[in-house]
Amino acid sequence: MRRIRLLLLLLLPALTLLAAPLAAQGGGGGVRIKDIADIEGVRENQLVGYGLVVGLNGTGDRLRNAVFTRQSLIGVLERLGVNTRDQESRLDTRNVAAVMVTANLPAFARNGNKVDVTVSALGDATNLTGGTLVVTPLHGADGEVYAVAQGAIATGAIAARGAAASVTRGVPTSGRIPNGAIVEREVPFAFGNKPTLRLALRNPDLTTARRIAAAVNRMAGAGAAQASDPRTVTVSLIGRDPVGFATEIEQLRVEPDQAARVVIEEASGTIVMGSNVRISTVAIAQGNLTIRVTEAPQVVQPNALAGGQTAVVPRTGIEVDDQSERRLGILQGGVSLQDLVRGLNNLGVGPRDMIAILQTIKAAGALQAQLEIR
């Protein structure tokens, strides 16, 4: 026992020194600021382009129906020194498809960086598997070319067709080209020349914004940050290294607040409720009257010596289910999400019926939360 006590006394200072860096890194509760807020101005930019996919195995556009595909093919061939104007009416290949090419240009992307692109068919092509995208300029919202895309398309889809049946898994008319575009133009953003840094909350909330400002002020000193509205926190960068200071701010942990909200997806019967949802005192009864009528006619065959005829005797069964086992349930005021779900489950309520109950509780004014139906 003395040896164990002596060993613990020797290890205690080392454990204290080991725990100090972990505490400084914010290993406690809450979430990091970088997970709930973005730096204003640091964002992606959407790019779009029009191009041709070649090398398809007879699954491309019909040139007689897709006029834009035929004109694009003729234009590409002319740029390569092949004149097909005189034979335009005889072009009848199905190995070419017109496509729209989309991509997202990341923030701080530099010349020569590569980004992924998505390719989607425009005409009546049935499958882009195995095709190759020809050089396609990608334009931004200002009309300038920011990247050029080219490469083999991967759809990840399976399509097989026979004389009397066909099987399709996935979407064969849309695919991706990993690292298929090369950045040709940068989007300028002077991150280090700004006097202030603005943090934009992904879920606007005044309480969360003030907590972020308070966490930054505890780390950098009073007056370093201020919540200007529920979405924005302004941080001063005067006299500080912008990149290093932004890194320290991102690692700070805060406890985000959220409004009480119930989201209902009626199409799939999905219900999502936040932890702050509260219910006032309310009584709930749920049940339907079900009457089931079944017909099971019975054939009666007389004995061979009786001299009678075969007859069909009707047999009708009637069942009435008034769900009398369902009782009126009372939910006390101020119950939490867990109590609400447990109470509704005890009543045998399914997702579909629960949607109707939540809508009725909201109409009665007993649901202290926002009800959002999609």
Residues 166 and 195 in one domain: no
Asked whether residue 107 is assigned to any structural domain, the reply reads yes
Q: pTM of the prediction?
A: 0.67
pLDDT of residue 363: 84
Cα 226 to Cα 216: distance, rounded to the nearest angstrom: 9
pLDDT band, residue 146 (cuts 50/70/90): very high
pLDDT of residue 10: 46
Q: Where is mean pLDDT largest: 45-49, 81-85, 274-278, 345-349?
A: 45-49
End-of-domain residue from the set 183, 200, 226:
183
CB 208 within 8 A of CB 256: yes
Instruction: Assign 223 to helix, strand or coil.
Output: coil
pLDDT band, residue 18 (cuts 50/70/90): very low
End-of-domain residue from the set 151, 183, 215:
183
pLDDT of residue 211: 94
Q: Where is mean pLDDT largest: 45-49, 76-80, 88-92?
A: 45-49
The answer to whether residue 371 scores a pLDDT higher than 60 is: yes
Residues 69 and 103 in one domain: yes
pLDDT of residue 290: 54
Q: How many Cα atoms occupy the beta-carbon half-sphere of 19 within 13 Å?
A: 7
Which secondary-structure segment (H or E) carries 220? helix 206-220
End-of-domain residue from the set 145, 166, 183:
183
Asked whether residue 119 is assigned to any structural domain, the reply reads yes
Asked whether residue 73 is assigned to any structural domain, the reply reads yes
Residues 106 and 209 in one domain: no
Asked whether residue 347 is assigned to any structural domain, the reply reads yes
What pLDDT, in 10s, does the model give residues 178-198? 999 999 998 887 776 788 889
Residues 73 and 173 in one domain: yes
What burial letters (b/e) apply to 103-114, b meaning 16+ CB within 10 Å?
bebeeebeeebb
What pLDDT, in 10s, does the model give residues 227-260? 999 999 999 988 888 888 999 999 999 999 888 8
The answer to whether residue 1 scores a pLDDT higher than 60 is: no
What pLDDT, in 10s, does the model give residues 31-69? 999 999 998 888 899 999 999 999 998 899 998 888 888
Residues 142 and 239 in one domain: no
Residues 224 and 145 in one domain: no
Asked whether residue 38 is assigned to any structural domain, the reply reads no
Name the pairing type of β-strands 370-373 and 261-265.
parallel
Residues 279 and 243 in one domain: no
Residues 112 and 139 in one domain: yes
Residues 149 and 236 in one domain: no
| 127-136, 224-233, 298-307, range with the lowest pLDDT | 298-307
Cα 248 to Cα 24, 26, 268: the distances in Å are 11, 11, 42
pLDDT of residue 319: 67
Residues 173 and 58 in one domain: yes
Residues 126 and 210 in one domain: no
Asked whether residue 343 is assigned to any structural domain, the reply reads yes
Domain count, the chain: 3
Domain extent, residue 322, equals 262-301+310-373
Asked whether residue 335 is assigned to any structural domain, the reply reads yes
| 11-25, 43-57, 215-229, 266-280, range with the lowest pLDDT | 11-25
Residues 353 and 277 in one domain: yes
Asked whether residue 365 is assigned to any structural domain, the reply reads yes
